[in-house]
Amino acid sequence: MTRRVLGRQGSFLASAAVVAHTIWTSAAPALSYPLYAQQWHLTTFTTTAIFAVYPVLVVFVLVLFGNLSDFIGRRETMLAGLAFSGLGSLTFALAQSVDWLFWGRAFMGIGVGLSAGPSAAAIVEFSPPHRVGQAGGATAAAQGLGMMSAALIGGPLIQYAPLPLRLNFAVLSGFLAGLFAMTWFMPNHTASRPSGRWKPKVPSIPNGAYAVFVTSTAAVTGSYVLGAMTLSLGAQVARDVVASSNALVNGGTIALFALASTLATIPARKIAVRIVMLSGGISAIVASAVLAIAAVEHSLSLYILAQLGAGAAYSWLLLGGLSLMNSHLPVTHRAATLSALFLVAYLAQALVALSLGKTATIYGLAMAVDIGVVTVAALALLTLLLDLIQRKTALGRSRKARS
């Protein structure tokens, strides 16, 4: 019996949905952390450690399997990733102790590690030929929609529905099952398969792409650290610093982050990459400053404003980094190089989450917010500096080639 296969548009949408799931699974537990802390008497360090298990496992999988989809195809690799993500979501839905949460995050990390690079590469490859340059925008928009889904679905379920620590993950598990079925009908495709057999290999950067890789990675890492602050500490900041105890309100502030992230991709698609990255860097610095003030003043309105600015900065840094990378990547190394980028970004996310959690446990949540703000601002400034150096170097090479 011949398997039905999705066309280009259907495969593009399925790939975008897989990208969205990588953020949804990451964000889904965010609003539950205060409840877990209350039920099982967990410290802030423990809850951020639960969050950090996810990016640590993502990094581990990217190191071993970052180039897998270049050999066996995007579809098979994404299916494996979705299976692990679904197992992680079910583990959360059935959790009986804090150990279950660590296992659930580990499974989610494996799932995202397997599917992050292939899904981003598949979006490029299934984009219409005349719109390949906008694939970075589609990836950023899909991530924003994934985070928005986690907040807008999880918030009401946690606050008002029965089984607040289970139903949220049951719904996510159902979504992942449907997405697995949709992905099953994608063609098993890579733009160009490398020769030879697959073997585990540390993600690498093609010769001549190092300057672009470093700049792109700094931008994406900045965006992911912003995401780490929002997802690992956001609900607790809203509850403890801004004094909001309603999960729907707290989820709404995270949803605003996601909404701003999604909307910010619309005008950015038609703007030069350097302007997008500049906007992202400046917005990250300003939003971080507003967040610090919100924590001092216990102001929900300033916190909301900071979330909106941070959401836009997240999107512009991510979009700028991915667009710059996609425009310089050799086709045969696309997934492996994107995996190298995500490896650095997720590792930084894990380190920041653990550091902020330890700081919050020892010195208080307000101090952790201050350190997070400084970290984000430093990464934003680094991105702007690297982008300036990379553009001047490229311009110098262009002038030299013409002469």
Nearest Cα residue to 250 out of 240, 261, 265:
240
Burial classification of residue 201, based on how many CB atoms lie within 10 Å of its CB (0-12 exposed, 13-18 middle, 19 or more buried): middle
Residues contacting 70, CB < 8 A, separation 6+: 190, 193, 194, 198, 332, 333, 334, 335, 336
Would you state the pLDDT for residue 243? 58
In the chain, what are the domain boundaries? Answer: 8-188+205-402
pLDDT tens readout for residues 137-156: 788 788 878 888 887 888 78
Give the mean pLDDT of the chain.
82
252 versus 364: which is more confidently predicted?
Answer: 364
For 392, left (φ over 0), alpha (ψ -120 to 50), or beta? Answer: alpha
Does 330 have pLDDT greater than 70?
no
Name the 3-class secondary structure at 92.
helix
224 CB-contact burial (10 Å; exposed 0-12 / middle 13-18 / buried 19+): buried
Residue 387 binned pLDDT confidence (cut-offs 50, 70, 90): confident
**CA–CA dist 67, 204 (Å, integer):** 9
- CA–CA distance, 198 with 335 (Å, rounded to integer): 14
Q: Measured between alpha carbons, how far is 365 from 371 in angstroms, rounded to an integer?
A: 10
Quickly list DSSP for 12-76.
Answer: HHHHHHHHHHHHHHHHTTGGGHHHHHHHHT--HHHHHHHHHHHHHHHHHHHHHHTTHHHHH-HHH
8-188+205-402 folds as Growth Hormone; Chain: A; (1.20.1250)
Highest mean pLDDT (candidates 66-70, 87-91, 323-327):
87-91
Kindly report, residue by residue over 20-43, the tens digit of the pLDDT: 999 899 888 877 887 888 889 888
| DSSP, res 165 | T
Q: What share of the chain in percent tops pLDDT 70? A: 84
pTM: 0.74
Least confident of 36-45, 118-127, 201-210: 201-210
Q: How confident is the model at residue 235 (pLDDT cuts 50, 70, 90)?
A: low
Residues 6+ apart with CB under 8 A from 353: 48, 51, 52, 55, 228, 232
Q: How far apart are the C-alpha atoms of 118 and 130, rounded to whole Å?
A: 21
Contact 278, 384 (CB under 8 A): yes
Higher pLDDT, 166 or 327: 166
Q: What are phi and psi of 310, to 5 degrees?
A: -65, -35
